[in-house]
Amino acid sequence: MDVPSQRVETTDAQPLKGAAARTHALMVTTARDMMRAGQSPSVSEVAEAAGVSRSTAYRYFPTLADMLRAVVAEALGPILEWDDGTTGEARVDDLYRTAFPRLFEHEATFRAALRQSLDAGAEDSTLGRGHRRALLQSATRDLDIAPDDRARLTRALSLTFGIEAMVVLKDIWGLDEDEALETALWAAQAMIAAAQRNGGGQ
**Domain 18-62, CATH number (from 1.10.3470, 2.60.120, 1.10.10, 3.40.1130):** 1.10.10
- Cβ–Cβ < 8 Å for 61, 27: yes
Average pLDDT over residues 12-19: 73
Q: pTM of the entire structure?
A: 0.80
pLDDT in tens, 72-129: 999 999 999 999 889 999 999 999 999 999 999 999 999 998 888 887 664 555 555 6
Where in the chain are the domains? 18-62, 77-199
Structure-model confidence comparison of residues 125 and 195, the more confident one:
195
